[in-house]
Amino acid sequence: MMQKGSSFSLESSVSGYFDDDGRIRRTGTLMSASAHIITAVIGSGVLSLAWCFAQLGWITGTLLLAVFAIITWFTCLLLTDCYRYPDPVIGTRNYSYMQAVKVNLGGFSYKLCGISQYGTQVGATIGYTITSAISMAAVKRSNCFHKHGHNNGCHTLNNSYLLIFASIEIVLSQIPKFHKLTFVSIFATIMSFGYSSIGIALSIAKIAGGTHSKTSLTGVPVGPDMSGMEKMWNIFSAIGDIAFAYSFSLVLLEIQDTLKSSPSEIKVMKKASTIGVAVSTLLYTLCGVLGYAAFGNDASGNYLTGFGFYEPFWLIDIGNMCVVLHLLGAYQVLIQPFFAFVEDWSHKKWPESRFIEKEYYIGSYSLNLFRLTWRTLYVILVTIVAMIFPFFNSFLGLIGAATYWPLTVYFPIEMYISQAKIQRGSFTWIWLKILSLTCLIVALLAAAGSIRGLAVSVSDFELFHSMS
């Protein structure tokens, strides 16, 4: 009896490490999921919201923030129901967004989702690399302005900062799985609150000091300095920037897969999505509204690095370093699903390869040569692209336009229709389709504006270097 009891005890102890599908037991909570979401949502997009309001004006800017928040929140609730299949509560787990698309919509949609999701994640890491380098350079410029005066150019190249950021990301990229990112996400979330709060405080101080610029209900007016065509393109690009600010659905199911099985992942994830979207919208509204009130129609594309603020220089430095530290973590939260996809595919393709399969343990740290090599090469490649296209706003807008419709709207709606077996032609089916079509039109307009913005930025960049 003692032997049998010991065997049962050992079996229970071992089973405690695993979920019912044989995978290591998940330990995620409402707090960790909310931190992951806030880390993924509040990124470099918040820095451009004052510029967005300058293009859109008080009415359209505020309205679009609210509309994108509501649509994102609603489609996230639909997406959480697709974590398990066929039943949303007791069905089989889908470990990734792509897997959920495959079981609900089939192989063709699965391939389209892969292109959209992983293309967006790669694009976002390029955007984060650009933003971090700009913020690090802004610290040096801020100290230069403080020492030599605001009329000094204090120009600096970003390439050395790109390399610093890349070096740190090479180390962080060796974190093997999404489930190991909880501490990184919590730290990054604290940093996002840090720089958002600093931007808000500086905006309030500028407004209180009576030095704020002119604002309007419709944004920058058409006139000698702004043609009607230019205004239209800027509006489209601003819409893309706001869409980018809410683009986190591409990692939502990966976040949900970190949660404990009890209480139900759906209930916890819906609460986490509500908290994440609500907190992000509050910060976005404060940053956009107060930033526009402070800088008016002259708001720059990045309100911590555009130097509407010069003093206190040390506080601006802290704000920009918070941006960098946040994006170091956000980079990992967004790119881990892509890392996992490439590595899972490689394991299946070459199961006998020691280079791919062998794990070397140094204390509690696990080192894999394939992971070390290919993730390092990935970070290097992203950094090279960031050096070629160092254009903040247009790049954000293009990523947002490419991300928002397929991953935040189209696939969640289509999967929900399929899983809930909503009848074709019914009222619910019709209005969900109308919502998807409307968002597609908005995304296409935003993409057009961002592509034009990139083309103009490249042209101006080449002209500047030809004259210097």
Beta strands in 347-439 (DSSP E): 360-362, 365-367
pLDDT over threshold 90, residue 238: no
Residue 306: pLDDT over 70: no
Residue-level pLDDT at 440: 92
Entry pTM? 0.82
Q: What is the mean pLDDT of residues 311-327?
A: 87
Instruction: For residue range 322-343, list pLDDT tens digits in order.
Output: 989 999 988 998 898 899 999 9
Read off the tokens for 162.
């790109």
Strand pairing category for 360-362 and 92-93: unpaired
What single-letter DSSP state applies at residue 423? P
209 to 53, 213, 216, 294: CA distances (angstroms)? 21, 11, 20, 10
CA angle 443, 449, 454 (to 5 degrees): 120
pLDDT at 256 over 70: yes
Rounded distance between C-alpha atoms, residue 93 and residue 84, angstroms: 5
pLDDT at site 7: 45
Per-residue tokens: 357: 């399969």
Rounded Cα distance, 371 and 365, in Å = 13
* Mean pLDDT on 108-135: 87
Q: In this model, does residue 363 exceed pLDDT 80? A: no
Instruction: Tell me the average pLDDT across 351-376.
Output: 89
In the block, residue with structure tokens 């790669």? 122
Arithmetic mean of pLDDT, 417-424: 93
Of residues 162 and 27, more confidence is placed in: 162
What Rg value do the Cα atoms of the chain yield, rounded? 23
Helix (H) or strand (E) holding 92: strand 92-93
Residue 223 pLDDT greater than 90, yes or no: no
Task: Give residue-wise pLDDT tens across range 422-444.
Answer: 999 999 999 999 999 999 998 88
Which among 218, 180, 198 is positioned nearest to 57, based on CA atoms? 218
Q: Are 297 and 216 in contact (CB under 8 A)?
A: yes
Among the listed residues 418, 403, 217, 205, the one whose alpha carbon sits nearest the alpha carbon of residue 316: 205
**pLDDT score for 206:** 83
Judged on CB neighbours under 10 Å (0-12, 13-18, 19+), 401 is buried
Query: pLDDT at residue 265 above 60?
Result: yes
Give the pLDDT confidence score for residue 43 in this predicted structure: 62
pLDDT band at 46 (very low <50, low <70, confident <90, very high): confident
**Region for residue 59 given its phi and psi (left: phi exceeds 0; alpha: psi -120 to 50; beta: otherwise):** alpha
CB 247 within 8 A of CB 403: yes
- For residue 4, pLDDT over 60 is answered with no
For residue 444, what pLDDT is reported? 87
Backbone angles phi, psi at 263, to 5 degrees: -65, 170
Distance in angstroms (rounded) separating the CA atoms of residues 231 and 235 = 6
The CA distance from 135 to 324, in Å, is: 7
Task: Give residue-wise pLDDT tens across range 23-38.
Answer: 778 888 999 999 888 8
Mean pLDDT of 348-352: 91
Q: How far apart are the first and last CA of the chain?
A: 87
Look at residue 467 in the predicted model and tell me its pLDDT.
54
* pLDDT for residue 304: 73
pLDDT at 11: 44
Q: Tell me, what DSSP letter sits at residue 410? A: I
CB atoms within 10 A of CB 383: 22
Helix, strand, coil proportions of the chain in percent (round to 5)? 75, 5, 20
Grouping H, G, I as helix, E, B as strand and the rest as coil, residue 85 is strand
Sign of the CA dihedral running 114, 416, 76, 62: positive
Which two structure tokens, joined as six digits, stand for 179? 């489930």
- Given a contact cutoff of 8 angstroms between Cβ atoms, the answer to whether 81 and 74 are in contact is no
| Cα 434–Cα 119–Cα 463 angle in degrees, nearest 5 | 105
Lowest mean pLDDT across 195-199, 300-304, 325-329, 369-373: 300-304
Residue 107 structure tokens: 């192989």
Other CB atoms closer than 10 Å to residue 353's CB: what's the count? 12
Distances (CA, A) of 246 to 84, 195, 407, 447, 451: 24, 18, 11, 16, 20
Position 86 pLDDT exceeds 80: yes
pLDDT: which is higher, 137 or 240: 137
SS3 25: coil
